[in-house]
Chains A and B, each alone.
Chain A
């Protein structure tokens, strides 16, 4: 047996995966992968779908660490994390307040911009504003002030659902409708043309560090829901095809964004690198996908990490932070 030694304090982990959302399948795959990696590392893991019996179960079993692998709202918006804080059991990933700020894209952009990181020019509008001020005049005002190409996205939400790239201004109304069906606030953002990268940020105790950037090249030109979850729809380059100074600047921007938002343990920062080499912050995920085809595991493997070891380190860090 070569089972690695596990510290006394880290014997049992409960991985939360599933939930009721359109990202349920992705979450189940992420959770299973995390659970398998931790099990292979000699930790006793329980995989749980969050339901009405969860809280009772957790307060009874009191695992050493909870690992939420829930994507989408509730998993990432801070709601569940708030409950875990109240339970007083260590958990992996950002705290509720930070998760809530990061989940709201306009808020995250504002905080990151304040830290000196570039983020594309944008405007956020509520559905009510359109009702009160009249859609035609508001849309025309946006069109006048924000030249195409634009990216229209729900202010909160994951997996690129409701996101449209608007190349022709005539497509703006339809794009607004699609985004508003997912969220009552919509972000209209200038589209930066460049290289799309995702940078994982991890912190096992020595401060946050950036993983190699993963470059995303969707076959259709747009990394939407289909491109994300269907094999062969997207090509990835790890590390991204950037020159060293540009890559270093992007890595620094990712770490700075993670820090500015007060995130901990693990995140994935999505950036676009323009022709001049400037990194533009788009958004951050407090629970990046951890499936066998997800970006952060790709980067971890490229950087030579053993997943079981790293996930155990993150769990250990959660315990340390909880005690602090």
Chain B
């Protein structure tokens, strides 16, 4: 079924399955736009841990067990297996199979959101989960990242019974997705070497990813970050004492911006993280941006060090007990 971007597919699926209080499992962190949809339908989003290979099956099992014990209805697992937004990581093939098994045995639907899959750098991402399970997976695709987001054209590939319901829901939501955009895209796919165009994008983004990773290594060697094999994003972890959200206006003042990690959690986590996007700026701008970011981060760490260990006493000593010179003589 064609949708108004995969964003609309997220909305339709959530509308169809979620009653207020139902659980949606999502990676930790997860896509901000999806979290917004889940929140709008009052879903209870429960994050499941990830590592460099994506969602961790063991954590998924534990989370499901805990939720089931608490009697919580789990409706679906929302996952971005390829070149994750915002984490940049990719779910390994072995884990895909394991996660499908877990979900199947607990009767949990998988919502596989894959807008970045074709934008790999060195080698293609593993096959879609949908390719081995056409009963338990709704797969979402989009032209937003491979052609242009402005067309607002995406698609959902759903098990038959769900598909019927999605079509009805889509009709009542928008009557029909933008057909002009679909004609243009059809023409584009017929008449141009669109695969070649995607190859051009892949090389462009790979170069930018390289620029970002090498600049991070050079300017911020003490931080840690993910190493994306495709897509747009690097996920950076800051030292504990920093707060990415509080730091953002200071970064903007230095003419560099990022998305604070808190946007990608439904439960207030993410202060220690930031999402950096390398898709738009040139490699030179990326270097400049990371250098500026380093100025902000190092400045903040330096200040925190200056003021650490200052445990001021309360109640304040009375004036007569002041032995230090008054500050205005400093």
Contacts and interface: CB of A to CB of B under 8 A. Distances in A.
A and B associate: yes
Interface of A: 20-22, 123, 125, 127, 129-131, 133, 135-148, 161, 168-170, 172-174, 176-178, 180-182, 225
Contacts of A168: 314
Given A125-B327, A173-B307, A177-B300, 17 more contacts: A123-B327, A125-B330, A136-B310, A139-B307, A139-B312, A143-B313, A144-B322, A145-B322, A161-B249, A170-B312, A173-B310, A173-B312, A178-B246, A181-B296, A182-B250, A182-B253, A225-B249
Q: How large is the interface on B (under 10, 10 to 19, 20 to 34, 35 or more residues)?
A: 20 to 34
Contacts of B325: 141
Given A22-B253, A144-B317, A169-B314, A176 B307 contact: yes
11 contacts: A22-B252, A123-B328, A127-B303, A130-B307, A136-B309, A139-B312, A144-B319, A172-B310, A173-B307, A176-B303, A177-B307
Interface of A, secondary structure class, is helix
B220 to A, nearest CB: 17
Contact of B330 (A129, A143, A170, A178): A129
Nearest to B304: A177
A20 B249 CA distance: 12
A145 B327 contact: yes
Q: Which 6 A-B pairs have the closest CB atoms?
A: A141-B324, A173-B307, A173-B310, A123-B327, A144-B322, A136-B310
A83 to B, nearest CB: 20
A140 B324 contact: yes
B306 interface: yes
A135 B324 contact: no
Nearest to A122: B328
Given A172-B312, A177-B303, A145 B326 contact: yes
A130 B306 contact: yes
A138 B327 contact: yes
Nearest to B241: A177
Given A181-B299, A181-B300, A182-B253, A137 B324 contact: yes
B309 A147 contact: no
Interface of B: 246-247, 249-250, 252-253, 255, 296, 299-300, 303-304, 306-314, 316-317, 319, 321-322, 324-328, 330
A147 B330 CA distance: 18
A175 to B, nearest CB: 10
A144 B326 CA distance: 8
- Scoring B307, B313, B328 by chain A CB atoms within 10 A of each residue's CB, the highest score goes to B307
A181 B303 contact: yes
A298 to B, nearest CB: 25
B298 to A, nearest CB: 11
A169 B316 CA distance: 8
B310 A135 contact: yes
Contacts of B310: 135-136, 139-140, 172-173
A178 B304 CA distance: 9
Contact of B313 (A127, A140, A141, A180): A140
Contacts of B306: 127, 130-131, 135, 177
B5 to A, nearest CB: 26
A110 to B, nearest CB: 12
B324 A144 contact: yes
Contacts of B307: 130, 135, 139, 173-174, 176-177
Nearest to A131: B306
Contacts of A137: 324
A279 B159 CA distance: 71
A100 B193 CA distance: 58
Contacts of B322: 141, 144-145
A184 to B, nearest CB: 10
B312 A169 contact: yes
A22 B324 CA distance: 39
Contacts of B255: 20
Contacts of A147: 316
- Scoring B249, B250, B314, B325 by chain A CB atoms within 10 A of each residue's CB, the highest score goes to B249
A135 B255 CA distance: 29
- Scoring A145, A172, A174, A225 by chain B CB atoms within 10 A of each residue's CB, the highest score goes to A145
A172 B327 CA distance: 15
- Scoring B255, B303, B311 by chain A CB atoms within 10 A of each residue's CB, the highest score goes to B303
Contacts of A125: 327, 330
Nearest to B255: A20
A143 B327 CA distance: 10
Contacts of A143: 312-313, 316
